[in-house]
A and B are shown apart, each in its own frame.
Chain A
Amino acid sequence: MDKTLTLGESLRQSGVSRRGFLKFCTATASLMGLAPMMAPRIAAALEQARRPSVIWLSFQECTGCTESMTRSHAPTLEGLILNHISLDYHHTLQAASGDAAEHAREQAMQENHGNYVLVVDGSLPDENGAGYSTIAGISNLDMLRETAEGAAAIISVGTCAAYGGLPYAQPNPTGAIPVSEALPGRSIVNVPGCPPIPTVITGVLAHFLTFGGMPELDDLNRPMTFYGQSIHDRCYRRPFYDRGQFAETFDDEGARKGWCLYRLGCKGPMTYNACATIKWNQGTSWPVESGHGCLGCSEPEFWDVGGFYKALSAPTGDVSRAAAFGALAGAAVALGAGVAGKRKQAEAQEQHERVTVDDLGEK
């Protein structure tokens, strides 16, 4: 596809009507929490935007993030927007392989130095474990540092890139680190999720194309627009939580009636993501709607927070061992003190001088 085409032109070439495009812009404005009157501005900016060069690096990941974006069942405008960015390097999607693929990356870096968007999915081994993951003989860390240098924006897609994800989970055999740790000091937008919602990825790209910068971020560098509210607060099952109606197993009456899944380990109360509002598969459903608690996949270290089926209020350690240890130690110390006390009492009684009538008589 011609790289000089604007986004508007290439969308029209693909048969997207002006009405359809404006509808997308209005939806994007609403998703980004902007006023409806911003829609024309988004439309104007997107129309004029040259197709930005995007280099997509995949490190220690499962390709689920790419699958999430590309496996929409119907061609969507989000999908088209993705098609119309100039995806110059992406292992899974590019046709080229071997040297040609690496040349494509180098060429994109040279031609668009300072202007391309770098998208990373997957965590990467730290310096000590460089050999665990290489591409074309280059360690992930070296490739990331080299590619990040000329990037206008860096987006960590998926929980692995954002926080380490599965490779980072205990015992972390490869010494995996998230992108932010590999690039200290660089501003990075995290779009976590396992995988993230496709609309969120395109929303962030649309924001970049419209405003030339990145959206407002939270403390974990996630766009506030999509990660500003917890699953729990936007969950349609929340009224059951407040009424005290919970499913206690996956096939009890509560589960069949669609009651709250908190007791089955739902991590909705601590998870910030847009699943409850945007949903998945073109708004068809989302995990809680399909009867399973939220896993908390857009939060750091969600693999290691004590089990997917353990309620958030429940302890995660071996409490019975700690309790037995405490109780036995308490009983032992108390018994020891008791024995010592009795002995002292007995000694005092032994040493007690008894005074008899005879003693009194002598004096």
Chain B
Amino acid sequence: MSNPTEFLALVRGPLFDVAIAIFLFGVILRLTEILALGRKHDYSESRGGEGRGGWTTIWRRMLPDQEKIKRAPGVTVLGYLFHIGFFVCLLLFVPHIELIYNLIGIKWPGLPTPFIDVAAIVAMVSLAALFVNRLIHPVLRFLSTFEDYFLLVVVFLTVFTGYAAFHRLMEPASSALAWHILSVELMLVIFPFTKLMHTFTLFIARWYNGAMAARRGVQS
């Protein structure tokens, strides 16, 4: 790898293929593993619709929980800000849409870059604040493992390198883009084997909680 163009070609080509293969391998392995566990058959009479309860809980837990806001307003707000900022960057920046279109053949309209810029800054500031909070909050610090800090750094890097590539904070531009793609590939590779997997498992967990509660006739 003697020049930036070769570096970019490497991360767009073979490394991306490897990252996608590991990502799908891990995600499918873990999801199948969870689903294959199965549940014991419940012979009791159902008191409510399981499906409805499951879907309602998936949706309801997207919304802020009043109790949690009162107890930990900072973390709750920062958590929302990060997720909104991150997903705006990921799904509404046109070059990302073009990437997704190339992968799965669907596309949708994007946002002008100033909006993406604000979203990226919001995501980065929130992540940094959550990182600091994890370091200074005694209980959170006690509960945190290396993985928690590591994931915050990796996710921060993906947003930061993207921001740097867009704003030419690093020359040449092809290297900046290559570092961004490489950091995303790192995230894809570790994704299925870390807590990042919550992106998918949250739906399973929420559905199960909601369905189980509905069956018993209680609100989850």
**B9–A301 contact, CB under 8 A?**
yes
**A327–B24 contact, CB under 8 A?**
yes
**B32–A319 contact, CB under 8 A?**
no
- Known: A244-B111, A244-B113, A301-B6. Contact between A327 and B177, CB under 8 A? no
The residue from A218, A301, A304, A313 contacting B96, defined by CB atoms under 8 A apart: A313
Binary interface encoding of chain B residues 6-39 relative to chain A, with 1 for a CB under 8 A from any of its CBs, else 0: 1011001110111011111111111111001100
* A341 contacts the other chain (CB 8 A): yes
State A323–B18 Cα separation when bound (angstroms). Answer: 9
* B173 contacts the other chain (CB 8 A): yes
The count of residues in chain A whose C-beta lies closer than 8 Å to any C-beta of chain B is: 50
A341 contacts across to B, CB distance below 8 A:
36-37
Interface residues on B, range: 35 or more
State A78–B26 Cα separation when bound (angstroms). Answer: 61
Looking at the assembled complex, report how far the CB atom of B31 sits from the nearest CB atom of chain A, in whole angstroms.
8
State A327–B26 Cα separation when bound (angstroms). Answer: 8
Binary interface encoding of chain A residues 330-346 relative to chain B, with 1 for a CB under 8 A from any of its CBs, else 0: 11011101100100000
State A301–B172 Cα separation when bound (angstroms). Answer: 15
* A213 contacts the other chain (CB 8 A): no
Question: Which of A81-89, A197-205, A262-270 lines the interface with chain B?
Answer: A262-270
Looking at the assembled complex, report how far the CB atom of A226 sits from the nearest CB atom of chain B, in whole angstroms.
15
B173 contacts across to A, CB distance below 8 A:
230, 232, 269-270, 272
State A14–B21 Cα separation when bound (angstroms). Answer: 67
Question: Which of B47-55, B98-106, B119-127, B142-150 lines the interface with chain A?
Answer: B98-106
**A334–B29 contact, CB under 8 A?**
yes
* B155 contacts the other chain (CB 8 A): no
State A266–B5 Cα separation when bound (angstroms). Answer: 15
- Known: A269-B173, A270-B5. Contact between A322 and B17, CB under 8 A? yes
**B21–A323 contact, CB under 8 A?**
yes
Interface residues in B172-218 (C-beta closer than 8 Å to A): 172-174, 177
Interface of B is mostly: helix
B177 contacts across to A, CB distance below 8 A:
269-270, 312
**B13–A334 contact, CB under 8 A?**
no
Binary interface encoding of chain A residues 234-251 relative to chain B, with 1 for a CB under 8 A from any of its CBs, else 0: 000000011110100000
**A322–B96 contact, CB under 8 A?**
no
* A316 contacts the other chain (CB 8 A): yes
A322 contacts across to B, CB distance below 8 A:
17-18, 20-21
**B12–A315 contact, CB under 8 A?**
yes
**A272–B172 contact, CB under 8 A?**
yes
* B74 contacts the other chain (CB 8 A): no
* A318 contacts the other chain (CB 8 A): yes
Closest A residue by C-beta to B94 = A244
State A242–B207 Cα separation when bound (angstroms). Answer: 40
* B95 contacts the other chain (CB 8 A): yes
Looking at the assembled complex, report how far the CB atom of B85 sits from the nearest CB atom of chain A, in whole angstroms.
18
* A329 contacts the other chain (CB 8 A): yes
State A232–B172 Cα separation when bound (angstroms). Answer: 12
Interface centre among A220, A304, A305, A313 (most CB of B within 10 A): A313
State A199–B6 Cα separation when bound (angstroms). Answer: 28
**B24–A270 contact, CB under 8 A?**
no
Chain B residues packing against A (C-beta within 8 Å): 3-6, 8-9, 12-14, 16-18, 20-33, 36-37, 94-96, 98-99, 102-103, 109-114, 168, 172-174, 177
Q: Can you identify 18 A-B contacts, CB atoms within 8 angstroms? A: A219-B172, A244-B111, A269-B173, A300-B3, A310-B102, A313-B96, A314-B99, A315-B16, A316-B12, A316-B16, A317-B13, A317-B17, A326-B20, A327-B25, A331-B32, A334-B30, A334-B32, A341-B37
